[in-house]
Amino acid sequence: MLRLSVVDGQLQPVSQLRDYANRGTSLEELSLWEFFRDTYNGLKLKSSTQAKDAFRVSDRSTFVNDTEQTSKCRVVRKKGHETIVDFVGPWIPRKDHSEDFPMYCAVMLALLVPWRTISTIHRQSPTLEAAFREFLEKATPDQLTFMENVQYFYESSDRVAQRRKGDHTIESIEPEELIVDENEEGQTWMEDLEELMVTEDDIEYAIEHPFGPEESAFAEVGMNIATDVSIFSETTNRLPPGVA
């Protein structure tokens, strides 16, 4: 899907990756993740006077392919902001599955290592896995926290799956365990079991009487009060006792 936007009165395609690859030299050391977390598209200040007089104006960075006719630039967010980058699309691959690990390395390098051409993310390393392990040796605390957070989705999913599996586990009972001794303790156990058993008569009664006595009485009183205050027509009779 192609995204379009009106820039300087002209309809132009929008590409976030192109914006990152063409970021200004002052943003050279920002990774893709940091670029969208710490900056946003904005407009150039019209003049140096406006920049000087503006109250706490944010720093701006023009693109490397900038022209005088272009008003768009990147605005640097103030320190202390709490912006979270929203990644649209499938979740980032998990790192603890061998079949997903190469793609996980590629995604982490693309997000956390500065680049202008995506094919350079592995640097001089022979493989993406080797480049990722080399990156981990010098990763910042923010980057390490980011990598932990993106895996939290899978950790939570795994715990939920394990809990559901445990809830549906039925303990097996051997036939010999069902043999009950003919003693007082065994007789008591059998009586308790019979009390817990549901018969067909119980089921039919439950179908015919879906509401308990307290609920029926509450409904009866409510209907009678409604009749007394003329909510229903005058021809509506009071409910007979026991009818909800």
Is the confidence at residue 113, as pLDDT, over 90? yes
What is the average pLDDT value for the chain, to the nearest integer? 78
Q: Which helix (H) or strand (E) holds 74?
A: strand 72-76
What residue segments make up the domains of the chain, in order of their start? Answer: 3-76, 101-166, 176-228
pLDDT of residue 133: 94
Is the confidence at residue 123, as pLDDT, over 90? no
Is the confidence at residue 28, as pLDDT, over 90? yes
- For the entire predicted model, the pTM comes to 0.60
- 222 vs 83, higher pLDDT: 83
pLDDT of residue 162: 86
Give the residue-averaged pLDDT of 134-146: 94
Number of neighbouring beta carbons within 10 Å of residue 82: 6
Is the confidence at residue 226, as pLDDT, over 90? no
∠ CA 230-234-236, nearest 5°, is 95
| Share of residues in the chain with pLDDT > 70 (%) | 70
Q: 72 has which bridge partners?
A: 43
Is the confidence at residue 198, as pLDDT, over 80? no
Which is nearest to 109 in space by CA: 100, 119, 99?
Answer: 119
Residues 134 and 215: their CA atoms lie apart, in Å, by 69
Residue 234 tokens, joined: 């005058």
